[in-house]
Amino acid sequence: MENKNPILRTLSTNLGDQVNKQVKLAGWIAGRRDHGKLIFIDLRDRSGEVQMVVLPQSAAYQLANTIRPEWVIEVTGQVNSRPEKTINPNVINGRIEIEVKTIAVLNQTTTPPFDLTTDGYEIGEEERLRFRYLDLRRPRLRANLTFRHRINKLIRDFLSVRDFVEVETPVLTKSTPEGARDYVVPSRLYNGKFYALPQSPQQYKQLLMTAGLERYFQIARCFRDEDTRGDRQPEFTQLDLEMSFVDREKVMTLNEELLTEIVANLVPEKKIQTKPFPRLTYHQAMEQYGTDRPDLRTDKSDNNTLAFCWVIDFPFFERDKAGHWTFTHNPFSAPIPEHRDWLNDETKTGDILTNQYDIVLNGFEIGGGSLRNHEPDQLKRVFKILGYDDERIEANFGHMLTALGAGTPPHGGIAWGLDRLIALLAGEPNIREVIAFPKTGEGRDLMMNAPTPITPEQLNELGLRHVK
């Protein structure tokens, strides 16, 4: 006969008010200990852990003798208060334990390749990334992903009530020179032609301003084919936003308010050293600190101090190794108003300052943005300074020039390196600790074993061949 009143599964974090009641739990065995005739089992689920005890007279006793760490089990039992001398007030569920009545094994496991009961820092990172699905069972990493979720939610809520609209922009786009190398994707239908994965949604968010959206944001995936660099990832996440009819002050103020709200609500134990955030020109930062990412903490030994600052008034152009002009941030920025006409004076090129603003936290750049060149003739002049001829400008950026000439309002925005911000606020040493499935510093996915060759048939279908 069907049980009309089944016991529903209870999460371990919700057991405190269930004393003397029957409960059903399910999760992974975090530990098992034999104490004489008593068997103690620590059960872990997404919310935490709880200690369980199997008595010799229990029907589950024989099975409890065979189970091992990381097996997946379902348990029914009674929630009991712990004996006074065994209470541990420093952990969740430290005042209770589950007296096990039944155990059902849902899945067994092979022996894990490393210890899952530690924080994991002592284990080689390549081994951890190879078995990332196991590594993520650590409470520390589960907490990091939960923290990341909470930051994303706060950002969405904060911007939504301020009339921003979240818009997803394409992942398959056009290859244009924007700084780093593009990841390119061959087209099967158009052999010999390629898409590119976006280094950022820069052009799309400006086109949304042309479209009249006025306030856009996106938690966006970005891709850059860069050489090996310690704390970088081939794919990463940005908070990307853009606003129309704004000046630099409005964009910076909004971002300062958002960062302050994140700290106050999600890491209240941390304190912002100075509010409003200090502002330094690029020249001041380099002169006083020798870097445009200064660490302004007065006490660098205090991990709970957050020293935000803005760095503004960057040079627009600099010489590359060949002596040609290149941009310092991106070509779409606008000069400061006083230097707008200098785009047409070759003797002033090296002196032009751009309306760029970077946000720095404890010596790390966590975001950067600018007011944009919203007039096509001004943007075309930038490309001319960079040495592009009319044909190349049209081929790479003709779509942007056409759009800007279609009634694009003044606009500006910013992009945060969300992985870096989360890592700093979580107190982690690198961004891989706050990304669910990161690549190595060399850009390899050890868990999926990528990148890998594709078959000759696939190459042929794409009209490609491999040259050694």
Helix 139-160 with 248-266: angle, nearest 10 deg: 140
Please answer whether residues 97 and 63 qualify as being in contact, where contact means their C-beta atoms are separated by less than 8 angstroms: no
Cα–Cα dist 335/468, whole Å: 45
Lowest average pLDDT, out of 94-108, 173-187, 267-281, 329-343, goes to: 173-187
Residue-wise pLDDT tens digits, 188-238: 999 999 999 999 999 999 999 999 999 999 999 999 998 877 688 999 999
Give me the long-range contacts of 124-128 (CB less than 8 A, separation at least 24): 125/432, 125/440, 126/440, 126/446
Report strand pairing: 165-166 vs 215-223. parallel
Number of other residues whose CB lies within 10 A of the CB of residue 280: 21
Whose CA is closest to 98, among 7, 5, 16? Answer: 16
Q: What pLDDT score does 4 carry?
A: 59
State the Cα–Cα distance between residues 389 and 380, nearest whole angstrom: 10
Average pLDDT over residues 248-254: 97
Q: What is the pLDDT of residue 232?
A: 87
Task: Identify which of 341, 309, 343 has the alpha carbon closest to the alpha carbon of residue 327.
Answer: 343
Q: What is the mean pLDDT of residues 77-83?
A: 95
With 0-12 CB in 10 A as exposed, 13-18 as middle and 19+ as buried, what is 331? buried
CA Rg, the chain, in Å?
Answer: 28
pLDDT tens-place string over residues 1-20: 455 567 899 999 999 899 99
pLDDT at 159: 98
| Amino acid 5: pLDDT | 60
Residue 250 dihedral angles phi and psi, to the nearest 5° = -65, -40
Specify the residue for token string 């084919």. Answer: 225
Residues 6 or more apart in contact with residue 10 via CB below 8 angstroms? 18, 23, 24, 25
* pLDDT value at 260 more than 90: yes
Distance CA 135, CA 123 (A): 10
Q: What integer pLDDT is reported at residue 278 of this predicted model?
A: 98
Judged against a pLDDT cut of 80, whether residue 113 lies above it is answered with yes
Higher pLDDT, 325 or 251: 251
Q: Specify the pLDDT at position 179.
A: 66
Cis status of the peptide bond prior to 315, with omega within 30 of 0: no
Q: For 396-417, write each residue's pLDDT tens digit.
A: 899 999 999 999 999 999 999 9
**How high is the pLDDT of residue 441?**
87
Q: 5 in the Ramachandran plot: left (φ > 0), alpha (ψ -120 to 50) or beta?
A: beta
β pairing state of 364-371 and 353-361: antiparallel
Please tell me the pTM assigned to this model.
0.93
What is the average pLDDT value for the chain, to the nearest integer? 94
**The pLDDT value given to residue 452:** 95
pLDDT in tens, 425-464: 999 999 999 999 999 989 999 999 999 999 999 999 999 9
List pLDDT tens digits, range 144-199.
999 999 999 999 999 999 999 999 999 999 988 766 799 999 999 999 999 999 99
Q: Which domains does the chain have, with CATH numbers?
A: 12-107 (2.40.50.140), 137-435 (3.30.930.10)
Q: Do residues 128 and 135 touch, judged by C-beta distance below 8 A?
A: yes
List CB contacts of 255: < 8 A, sequence separation 6 or more. Answer: 359, 367, 369, 414, 416
Q: What is the pLDDT of residue 6?
A: 72
pLDDT at 16: 87
Q: What is the mean pLDDT of residues 302-315?
A: 96
Average pLDDT over residues 269-296: 97
Q: Cα–Cα distance between 354 and 324 in angstroms, integer?
A: 18
Between CA 431 and CA 233 the distance in angstroms is 8
d(CA 119, CA 99): 29
User: Residue 24 — very low, low, confident or very high, per pLDDT cuts 50/70/90?
Assistant: very high
